[in-house]
Structure 1
Amino acid sequence: MKNQIVKYFLISVLIILIDQAVKLLVYYNMDMGTKGQILIFGDWFKLHYLTNPGMAFGMKLNFEYGKLILTVFRIGAMIAIGYYLYTLIKSRANSGFLVCIALILGGAIGNLVDSIFYGIWFDNAPYDAPSAWFHGQVIDMFYIDIWEGYLPDWIPGLGGDYMALWPVFNIADAAIFVAICFIIIFQKRYFKKEEEVNTNEFETQHS
């Protein structure tokens, strides 16, 4: 059992290390924005260095300690996910599901490192942040440009705005996204054991 615990938590550690390594490479070797953009596959997949001050898709809590609250929430979520993974391993859950949770944990910690430390290490906290600690901005770099342009004027609220259809993301985001997709696609397989246990208990009670 100990080896199983180590194995799945090592997956999380691997995601964190890869995520941070890529972010460091981008930080030290790329110019921010369009100036430093690197095309990979035509115009639709490129490396585009930017920083994300808040949550996913650039959203943020617009008050002085909003980012601090978000970071503290992420710490709590990281601890909860880590404990959940541990209990799943102990209960011998489906290995595919365990890998998914390990990916989510690694991705959560990967972005948490940015939020806690990058304001100090890279001095990238917003100018109006009350403290550099816990106010670091997350580094993003992968840009899948499915479509970008100005929205038609007739769209309520967004008409005339410039918008990119796909956000810029990083390894941590990708790990979380892929894990969630696999959980949705293979949910019947991942939760089959639990469903069988519930079915057997129901049949025993009514036999």
Structure 2
Amino acid sequence: MSLKKATLLIVIILFIDQISKFYIKTHFALNDKVVVFNWFQIVFVENEGMAWGTKMSDFITFISERTAKLILTLFRIVAVCFISYWLVNSIKKKSTTILIVAISLIFAGALGNIIDSVFYGVIFNDSLGQVATFLPDDGGYDTLFHGKVVDMLHFPMWSGFLPDWIPFVGGDYFTFFEPVFNVADMAISTGIGMLIVFNRKAFPHSKSREHIF
């Protein structure tokens, strides 16, 4: 797979991701919901931290949330630089198409969420109780590198009380699938899933030497 095709894939994913986030941000107030099907909803939430809404400050208690947010954003930028190097290097080595597609998906997803974290605090105002404005006259809701990631895809395929015989969580109300995510998250998950499921094809082993008897 060529660099041109990988770049095209990345651009398409980034475009879909950012268009969907821009639309949600400029048409939905925070926590607004549209039920498309019983098992699929559009729910506008903003994620300030890592996966599942976890914050770095939850683990490193001696730093403030703003400092933790900045560290997380900078870490994401460094990580995406390493991913881009991995992608270019894999293309130069003519690695398998599966590997290059997987890395491209991970790179596009990571970059999509970085754009939110770096710029959205500056280019949008707050969505709490109102629909945000793009490039508001009175400025954004936060400073550079302190933006929140926009999530909107929710798939509550099943909800109900768990059987009492299940240890620890028996009798609790449970929803599958509870987290709200975005296109960038889907790209990252798909890329990682490809590397796990198609591991042997993505990283083919060198052919064993023929034995002479």
> 1:32–1:182: structure 2 CA closer, same or farther, 3 Å change rule?
same
More helix by share: 1
1:142-181 Cα offsets, whole Å, 9 max, x none, are: 001134567799965x789876443100000001111111
Name the structure 2 match of 1:38: 34
Partner of 1:26: 24
The answer to whether the Cα contact below 8 Å between 2:80 and 2:107 also exists between their aligned partners in 1 is: yes
In structure 2, relative to structure 1, the CA distance for the partners of 1:125 and 1:55 (3 Å cut) is farther
Q: Which amino acid aligns with 2:118?
A: I
Deviating 4+ runs (over 2 angstroms)? 123-126, 146-156, 158-166
**1:60 maps to amino acid:** K
Could you tell me the percent identity over the aligned residues? Answer: 38
- Does 140-149 or 22-31 show the bigger shift? 140-149
Q: TM-score, normalised by structure 1?
A: 0.81
Q: Which residue of 1 aligns with 2:157?
A: 146
Q: What residue ranges of structure 1 are gaps of 5+ in the alignment?
A: none
Q: Aligned letter for 1:59?
A: T
SS at match of 1:196: coil
Match of 1:91 in 2: 93
Q: CA 1:81 to 1:147, structure 2 compared with 1: closer, same or farther past 3 Å?
A: same
Ranges in structure 2 where 5+ consecutive residues have no aligned partner: 58-62, 129-141
- TM-score of the superposed pair, with normalisation by structure 2: 0.79
Q: How many aligned residue pairs are there? A: 191
The structure-2 alpha-carbon separation of the partners of 1:81 and 1:140, relative to structure 1 and needing over 3 Å to count, comes to same
Q: Aligned pair in 2 of structure 1 residues 111, 39: CA closer, same or farther (>3 Å)?
A: same
In 2 relative to 1, CA 119–87 (structure 1 residues): closer, same or farther, beyond 3 Å?
same
Conservation of the 8 A alpha-carbon contact between 1:110 and 1:172 = yes
Q: Distance in 2 between matches of 1:61 and 1:125?
A: 23
Shift of 1:27: 0.9
* Residues 32-71 of structure 1 aligned to structure 2 (within 5 Å): 32-33=30-31, 36-41=32-37, 43-62=38-57, 63-64=63-64, 65-71=67-73
3-state SS of the aligned residue for 2:73?
helix
Whether the 8 Å contact between 1:78 and 1:108 is mirrored in structure 2 is yes
1:132 maps onto 2:134 in alignment: no
What is the DSSP-based 3-state SS (H/G/I as helix, E as strand, rest coil) of the residue aligned with 2:146? coil
AA of the residue aligned to 2:24: V
